Amino acid sequence: MELLNNFSLKNFNTFGIEAKAKQFVAVQSIQDLRAILEENKSNKKFILGGGSNMLLTKDIEALVIHVDLKGKKVVKEDEDFVWVESQAGENWHEFVLWTIDQNFGGLENMSLIPGNVGTTPVQNIGAYGTEIKDTFVSCEAITIENQETKTFTNQECHFGYRESVFKNDAKDQYIITSVVFKLTKRNHKINTSYGDIMGELTNNNIINPTLKDVSNAVIAIRKSKLPDPKELGNSGSFFKNPIILKSDFEKIHQKFPEMKYYEVSETEVKVPAGWLIEQAGLKGKRFGNAGIHKNQALVLVNYGGATGKEILDISKHVQETVLKTFGIDIEAEVNII
Ligand code: EPU
């Protein structure tokens, strides 16, 4: 385990922003993680997973601990279900493909989401009608302060739309070290109801899709809309889809009858921010080295050499324009550092 000084984080954030860590260490075992925390009790620390949900706007004046714990295994099974545990540093998409290869169902709709397993509970990642809260059983975490181990059950995580206890009451207190998911071994709940999945399967003449077929359909849809961070720096959806009061929505909807929406409760509706940004005329717009993606307006991209500050300024411009056009506030989904 090597402590590196003045370390470039360019390859450790999917936006590909050049920013430095005062100190950097990658930990490959729980023992090393404990030792580093113990030795650096009084130093400022910053925990880094896959770097896929953050925008670095400045250097990090702290010890950056990159959680690189690897390993995945079946921990329990019965006739119908299997409980699979993954260490936090496993790449999410590779983990999903590994479950599908063994015909374990439940994660296929979340294929190709960037990032590592350990950060998936933090924002309850989701796509195409599924969120990790649907299969998440529990996660193990240790406290940064004194390395106590704690298990968080699904209920204790207080999952919501891109929300969890780790963004609220437990923020900055824990390092998630492993996660357990409960997946199906048979009678898979194939979910093709979201948007384009059905169309993609029909185009390929697939009537009774397998887990692999659904995963392939999701991969094809994502590839057509979402830029690959290896080719074009980005952090997936930069904004959350805003949830607004029905009473407010109705006033806006009268003015913009073609506005898309989904009911989330008796009093609230969710509006696709991508649609709002596109209608506000910003889709595909480029400002210097960064811009709004041409195929999915929710995604901000780094064309190369953009600073975090440049991207932050664009995000503010997007927020202001949407507010001016629709009277709706959109909130960043990524963490601004
Ligand atoms: N839309 C537009 N223009 C755009 C983008 C979207 O009009 O530029 C419209 C679409 O036509 C559609 C609606 O908005 O009617 C929803 O679009 P889409 O299905 O692409 O999904 P989204 O709401 O924009 C969310 C997640 C994505 C996830 C997709 C699919 C959030 C913030 N984003 O996007 O998650 O992949 O659904 O489930 O909830 C991520 O979080 O990083 C992410 C990529």
CATH number of residue 62's parent domain: 3.30.43.10
* Residues 57 and 93 both lie in one domain: no
User: What CA–CA distance (Å, rounded) separates 118 from 325?
Assistant: 38
Report the separation in Å between the CA atom of 272 and the middle of ligand 1, taken as the mean of its atom positions. Answer: 6
Q: Residue 22: its pLDDT value, please?
A: 97
* Residues 211 and 273 both lie in one domain: no
- Give, using CA atoms, the residue closest to atom 26 of ligand 1: 127
Single-letter amino acid code for the residue at 131? E
- 94 and 43 Cβ atoms separated by less than 8 Å: no
Q: Residue 260: its pLDDT value, please?
A: 86
C-beta 128 within 6 A of ligand 1: yes
CATH number reported for the structural domain that contains residue 302 in this entry = 3.90.78.10
* Residues 202 and 326 both lie in one domain: no
Last residue of one domain, picked from the residues 67, 82, 117: 67
Number of domains in the chain: 3
Q: Which two tokens stand for residue 266?
A: 């008796």
- Give, using CA atoms, the residue closest to atom 16 of ligand 1: 272
C-beta 154 within 6 A of ligand 1: no
Q: Residue 143: its pLDDT value, please?
A: 96
* Residues 201 and 146 both lie in one domain: yes
Please, which contacts does 310-319 make with residues 24 or more away whose CB atoms are closer than 8 Å? 311/15, 311/17, 311/55, 311/57, 312/55, 312/57, 312/336, 313/287, 314/287, 314/290, 315/55, 315/238, 315/239, 317/282, 317/287, 318/238, 318/239, 318/277, 318/280, 318/282, 318/292, 319/239
Q: Strand (E) positions, 173-322?
A: 174-184, 233-237, 243-245, 262-263, 268-270, 286-287, 290-292, 299-302
- Give, using CA atoms, the residue closest to atom 28 of ligand 1: 127
* Residues 76 and 219 both lie in one domain: yes
* Residues 177 and 284 both lie in one domain: no
- Give, using CA atoms, the residue closest to atom 40 of ligand 1: 237
C-beta 260 within 6 A of ligand 1: yes
> Can you tell me which atom of ligand 1 is nearest the CA of 128?
38
C-beta 292 within 6 A of ligand 1: no
* Residues 254 and 219 both lie in one domain: no
* Residues 203 and 248 both lie in one domain: no
Q: Residue 194: its pLDDT value, please?
A: 87
Last residue of one domain, picked from the residues 40, 67, 94: 67
Q: Which two tokens stand for residue 132?
A: 């990790």
CATH number reported for the structural domain that contains residue 162 in this entry = 3.30.465.10
- 85 and 56 Cβ atoms separated by less than 8 Å: no
Q: Residue 128: its pLDDT value, please?
A: 94
Report the separation in Å between the CA atom of 212 and the middle of ligand 1, taken as the mean of its atom positions. Answer: 22
Residue with tokens 């664009």: 314
Report the separation in Å between the CA atom of 18 and the middle of ligand 1, taken as the mean of its atom positions. Answer: 28
Would you call 162 a catalytic residue per the annotation?
yes
Residue length, the chain?
Answer: 337
Pocket test for ligand 1, best of 298, 328, 335 (most atoms within 8 A of CB): 298
- Give, using CA atoms, the residue closest to atom 4 of ligand 1: 274
Last residue of one domain, picked from the residues 67, 98, 115: 67
Helix or strand run (H / E) with residue 325: helix 308-326
What is the SS3 string spanning 67-109? ECCCCEEEEEECCCEEEEEEECCCEHHHHHHHHHHCCCECCHH
Q: Specify the DSSP class assigned to residue 241.
A: P
Q: Which two tokens stand for residue 69?
A: 């714990």
Question: Which of 86, 140, 162, 222 is flagged as catalytic?
Answer: 162
Chunked in runs of 10, what are the mean pLDDT values of the chain (337 residues)? 94 96 96 95 92 95 96 97 98 97 97 94 94 98 94 98 94 96 96 90 93 97 93 95 93 89 92 95 96 96 96 98 95 94
* Residues 21 and 141 both lie in one domain: no
Report the separation in Å between the CA atom of 230 and the middle of ligand 1, taken as the mean of its atom positions. Answer: 21
Residue with tokens 């059950």: 153
Question: Which of 85, 90, 131, 333 is flagged as catalytic?
Answer: 333
* Residues 255 and 202 both lie in one domain: no
* Residues 23 and 106 both lie in one domain: no
C-beta 223 within 6 A of ligand 1: no
* Residues 127 and 149 both lie in one domain: yes
User: What CA–CA distance (Å, rounded) separates 69 from 63?
Assistant: 18
User: What CA–CA distance (Å, rounded) separates 30 from 142?
Assistant: 9
- Give, using CA atoms, the residue closest to atom 33 of ligand 1: 237
Q: Which two tokens stand for residue 46?
A: 């910053």
> Which range of residues forms the domain containing residue 194?
72-225
Helix or strand run (H / E) with residue 151: strand 149-153
End-to-end, the C-alpha distance of the chain in Å comes to 25
User: What CA–CA distance (Å, rounded) separates 94 from 114?
Assistant: 10
Would you call 29 a catalytic residue per the annotation?
no
